A and B are shown apart, each in its own frame.
Chain A
Amino acid sequence: MRISSPFLSAGLCLLVATLGRSAVPTPAQDVENIVIGGAGATRVAIAPCSATTEPLRTSCGVVREVLKADLEFEGFQLTPESLMRSLPPANPKAPNFLDWKSVGAHILVTFEVTQGGTDFAAETRTFSVDGSSPIMSKRYAGKVDPASPNSFRAFAHQAADDILSLASIQGVTRTRLVFVSDRDHPDKRRKELYIADYDGFNVRQVTVNRQLSILPGWAPGGRGIVYTSYRNGDPQIYLSWIFEGRSVPNVTGERSGTQAFAAVVSPDGKKIAYSANRTGNFDIWVANIDGTGAHNLTGTPAQDTAPCWSPSGLEIAFTSGRSGSAQLWVMDQEGLNLRRLSSVGNYNDACAWNPSREFAEIAYSSRLEDGGFEIAVVDLSTGQVRQLTTGKGSCEYPSWAPNGRHLVFSCNRGGTWQLAQSDRIGAKLRSIAVGPGNSVQADWGQAAK
Chain B
Amino acid sequence: MTDHRHTSRILALTLSFLALPTLARADKKEFLALTQQIATLQGQVAEAEQARIESQKELRRMMDILVDQSALLKKLQQDLRIQDERAMVAIKDQQERLAEISDRLRTAPTVPATPPSQGLTPGPGTPPGPGAVLSPSPGQPPAIAPRDLYQQAYSDFARKNYELSIQGFQEYLRLYRDTDLADNAQYWVGECLQAQAKYEDAVTAFNSLLRDFVSSDKIPDARYKKGVALEALGRKAQAILEYRFVVERFPGSPAARLAREKLGQPN
List A residues at the B interface (Cβ < 8 Å). 295-299, 310-312, 314-315, 332, 334-338, 343-345, 353, 357-360, 368-369, 371, 379-385, 387, 390-392
Contact = CB atoms under 8 A, between A and B. Distances in A.
Residue among A299, A332, A336 facing the most chain B CB atoms (10 A cut-off): A336
B242 interface: no
Contacts of A384: 82, 86
A335 B78 contact: no
Contacts of B68: 391-392
Contacts of A299: 254, 257, 267
Interface stretch (B1-9, B149-157, B171-179): B149-157
Given A337-B191, A338-B254, A360 B82 contact: no
Contacts of B267: 299
A128 to B, nearest CB: 33
Contact of B85 (A343, A368, A369, A387): A343
B147 A383 contact: yes
Nearest to B254: A335
Residue of B78, B148, B224, B225 with most partner-chain A CB within 10 A = B78
Interface in B129-185: 147-148, 151-152, 154-161
B71 A315 contact: no
A381 B151 contact: yes
A155 to B, nearest CB: 34
Contact of A344 (B85, B148, B225): B85
A168 to B, nearest CB: 17
Nearest to A383: B151
Given A314-B195, A334-B258, A337-B221, A344 B74 contact: no
A380 B191 contact: no
Contact of B74 (A334, A338, A368): A368
Contacts of B255: 336
A309 to B, nearest CB: 11
Contact of B151 (A335, A338, A380): A380
Contacts of B99: none
A325 to B, nearest CB: 15
Contact of B261 (A295, A353, A387, A391): A295
Nearest to A379: B155
Contacts of A392: 64, 67-68, 71
Contacts of A381: 151-152, 154-155
Given A380-B154, A381-B152, A385-B82, A337 B75 contact: no
A405 B72 CA distance: 26
A387 B75 contact: yes
A345 B74 CA distance: 11
Nearest to B255: A336
Given A295-B261, A390-B72, A360 B158 contact: yes
Given A384-B86, A391-B68, A344 B81 contact: yes
A212 to B, nearest CB: 31
A310 B158 contact: yes
A411 to B, nearest CB: 12
B63 to A, nearest CB: 10
Contacts of A387: 75, 78-79
Contact of B159 (A298, A357, A371): A357
Given A344-B85, A390-B72, 16 more contacts: A332-B191, A335-B257, A336-B225, A338-B254, A343-B85, A358-B159, A360-B155, A360-B158, A371-B71, A380-B151, A380-B154, A381-B152, A383-B89, A383-B151, A387-B75, A392-B68
A312 B160 contact: yes
Interface string B26-61: 000000000000000000000000000000000000
